[in-house]
Structure 1
């Protein structure tokens, strides 16, 4: 089935209980406009803790373009976890180098100013912006920026 299915009015009792627990220990600064308490997801569907099923229109926010629990993604994560879960970019490792090589091979510009195409791999938008600012300072030799909003 690919359509939503509501077993009870929202939020259900388990969702209300979780929201109350959360309010005791998690900052209220997170913008949560809808009382959805995630239990699990499969493909394009998500279930709340009370068994209600929804179509997931928000998965792209966390790089879920393949849907939830895609078998190939799950297998790849399990295989990677057999080696190690995480190491910062402060150290070298094969996976990071291989990804850099693959990206360089398909980069639209093979050479830029006589230098090979390089990647800056990061884990968040904050790191990406920080890297872009550092690169702009390096390339322009200028220490300041002007920002515009609107």
Structure 2
């Protein structure tokens, strides 16, 4: 049996109204869903409704929510440190670079460029393309995730 819910629920509606009063509307939200918790491929809203998560946390939770191996790795890392500036070296970053370079689809030695956001990655790709090709104009797509950040 399929149950159709009227969203948002009472608790979610209250939180959405609070959000509208204090959070910039620069990130459009297309759904009145207020997350409470997730496990695997399921998520629960603050009103106790359970859903299948077809968005996977916008591509960052490909192993599902609260995957035991991911939780363990986060706990182990949190016992050491949570964040360090890219101004300093750390072994995890080096290991990631080595792993990425090992799977690069070409024979020449590879070098990885780490970023902390999709926008930084796109900006770096444009800078590299300008350097390599000498071109200054590129095609972009309106309606993609990046144009929301660049104001295109």
TM-score of the superposition, structure 1-length normalised?
A: 0.83
Pick from 3, 28, 32 the counterpart of residue 31 of structure 1.
Answer: 28
Q: Does the 8 Å CA contact 1:104/1:119 hold for their aligned counterparts? A: yes
Report the Cα offset of residue 62 of structure 1. Answer: 4.0
Instruction: Point out the structure with max Rg over C-alpha.
Output: 1
**Pair 1:126-2:123 in alignment:** no
Pick from 102, 113, 129 the counterpart of residue 105 of structure 1.
Answer: 102
Superposition CA RMSD, Å: 2.2
How far does the alpha carbon of each residue in 1:5-33 deviate from its partner, in whole angstroms, 9 at most, with x for none? 77x64221111110111111011232122
TM-score of the superposition, structure 2-length normalised?
A: 0.82
- 1:147 corresponds in structure 2 to 138
Pick from 12, 17, 25 the counterpart of residue 15 of structure 1.
Answer: 12
Relative contact order, CA 8 A, sep 6+: which one is greater? 1
Uncovered stretches (5+) of structure 1, i.e. residues with no partner: none
Return the alpha-carbon distance in structure 1 between the equivalents of residues 76 and 13 of structure 2.
37
Q: Does the 8 Å CA contact 1:39/1:48 hold for their aligned counterparts? A: yes
